[in-house]
Amino acid sequence: MEKLRGGIIGIGGFGRMTLAGMIEAPSVLVTAIADYDYELAQAKAQELGAKAYRTYEDLIEKAEIDALFLALPHHLYPPLVRLAAERGLHVYKEKPLARNFQEGLELVELLERKNLRFMIGTQRRWTPGFRTMKEWMPEVGQVFLARGQYVFCWGPDFRWRGSLEQSGGGALLDMGYHTVDMINWLVGLPDEVYAAASNIARPNTPYPYETDDTAVTLMRWKNGAMGYLLTCWVSSPAEERALIHGSEGTLVADWEGVTLYTPQGEVRRQHKLDRESATGAGIYAAMVEHFAQCVFSGKEPECSGRENLRNMALIEAAYRSAKLHLPQSPAQILSQQGA
Ligand SMILES: NC(=O)c1ccc[n+]([C@@H]2O[C@H](COP(=O)([O-])OP(=O)(O)OC[C@H]3O[C@@H](n4cnc5c(N)ncnc54)[C@H](O)[C@@H]3O)[C@@H](O)[C@H]2O)c1
């Protein structure tokens, strides 16, 4: 069986999920590992029969790999993706695509010019709950209202996430990326957004705290449909919900499952979820396997870098709007840059 030889950089944080997916994916072989914590990289490499590298650049330049998997603080991605493109490696990276639209566009075009596959880890697309929601979308009829809400309490130290230069954005760009991706996937890119963002929830913090901890984004589509995104990472109760209201019914997805209601509130269909099916390694294995198959076939992956430019356009428009106190058009950002 053909195997994609993968090298992973960053296994100390969320990358452990990507690594779990790589281990479980039938067509992927982990051959190289690097982490800031070299001992951790060595221990994992030994366990998997892979090679550990001291520096990220060394892994990219010397490892016997076909593809690079990245899960790092956001500012570390661009130079590594550029190096990977130079070496002709396909790239799978954790969300977000980039710190801003322009950076995302540069990376997408770079890999496309070299005919390399580029996929972004946006795992909501692969969870049974949101996949069911997508499947049931035709049953809501004409969408007139879309709501995305994601709240939890991060802390106490944001580390690189509090630095605008290193992260690119806060609650909206980072955790909110999933909610943005759901809106774009289920309803399409809004024509106009108006946003407010703030970071006043933790006064007098001693560590860098420049990014938004709370953002509310109003959205409007050409046909009159509207919606909002609410992202906040300094409060509770934790919730992640997407609600799509249409002429024929309402779809609600959260950590418990998906429910389709009639406009009057009767349950028409329901898909209950267990936590493992929504968060387990199987989801990451499916994503990584899909990526490997796209590398073999030359097909564009679902959640490709190019597709993720829509998420970056919505987020960029929202941040610009919050700064200027004026509505902005994600579609215009997307088209102006030729994407
Ligand atoms: N899909 C999701 O649900 C999800 C959840 C959390 C994070 N993420 C994404 O995963 C990526 C990594 O986030 P994280 O929370 O794992 O980050 P993290 O701060 O835990 O760091 C991850 C790894 O980056 C490396 N690293 C950290 N600081 C470094 C430095 N200064 N120099 C060199 N290497 C360094 C280390 O190897 C570390 O193990 C980000 O893109 C983030 O947005 C995605």
43-86: pLDDT as tens digits: 999 999 999 999 999 999 999 999 999 999 999 999 999 999 99
Query: How much distance in Å is there from the Cα of 76 to the middle of ligand 1?
Result: 9
Least confident of 1-5, 89-93, 274-278, 312-316: 274-278
**CB-CB neighbours of 71 under 10 Å:** 23
pLDDT confidence bin for 276, thresholds 50/70/90: confident
8 Å CB contact between 89 and 119: no
Tell me if 240 CB under 6 Å of ligand 1: no
**Cα 72 to middle of ligand 1, angstroms:** 4
Residue 273: CB atoms within 10 Å: 18
Q: Report the pLDDT averaged over residues 166-184.
A: 98
CB 216 within 8 A of CB 196: yes
Best of 60, 72, 166 to mutate for ligand 1, by most ligand atoms within 8 A of CB?
Answer: 72
Give dist(CA 167, CA 94) in Å, integer.
Answer: 13
Q: If you measure from the C-alpha of residue 98 to the centroid of ligand 1, how many angstroms do you get, rounded to a whole number?
A: 13
Which residue has a Cα nearest atom 28 of ligand 1? 73
User: Given the CA of residue 11, which atom of ligand 1 is nearest to it?
Assistant: 39
Cα–Cα distance between 314 and 274 in angstroms, integer? 31
Q: Going edge to edge, which strands form the sheet with 67-70?
A: 51-53, 28-34, 4-9, 67-70, 90-94, 118-121
Please, which residues bridge with residue 54 across strands?
Answer: none
- From the CB of 124, is ligand 1 less than 6 Å away? no
Q: Please work out whether the CB of residue 289 comes within 6 Å of at least one atom of ligand 1.
A: no
Q: Answer whether 35 contacts ligand 1 (Cβ < 6 A).
A: yes
Query: Using CA atoms, how far apart are residues 325 and 339, in angstroms rounded to an integer?
Result: 25
291-295: average pLDDT = 98
Q: Is the CB of 72 under 6 A from ligand 1?
A: yes
Report, as an integer, the average pLDDT of 141-159.
Answer: 94
**If you search the block for the tokens 């509310």, which residue do you land on?**
216
Domains and CATH numbers, the chain: 4-122+280-301 (3.40.50.720), 125-273+311-334 (3.30.360.10)
Give the integer Cα–Cα distance in Å for 80 and 87: 11
Torsion angle defined by CA atoms of residues 20, 24, 28 and 34, in that order, rounded to the nearest 10 degrees:
20
Spell out where the chain has E strands: 4-9, 28-34, 51-53, 67-70, 90-94, 118-121, 143-153, 192-198, 214-220, 226-232, 234-246, 250-254, 257-261, 267-272
- Which atom, in ligand 1's list, is nearest to the CA of 70? 11
Q: What is the DSSP letter of 283?
A: H
| Mean pLDDT, rounded, for 114-123 | 97
Instruction: Write the pLDDT tens digit of every residue in 83-108.
Output: 999 999 999 999 999 999 999 999 99
**Ligand 1 neighbour 10 (Cβ under 6 A):** yes
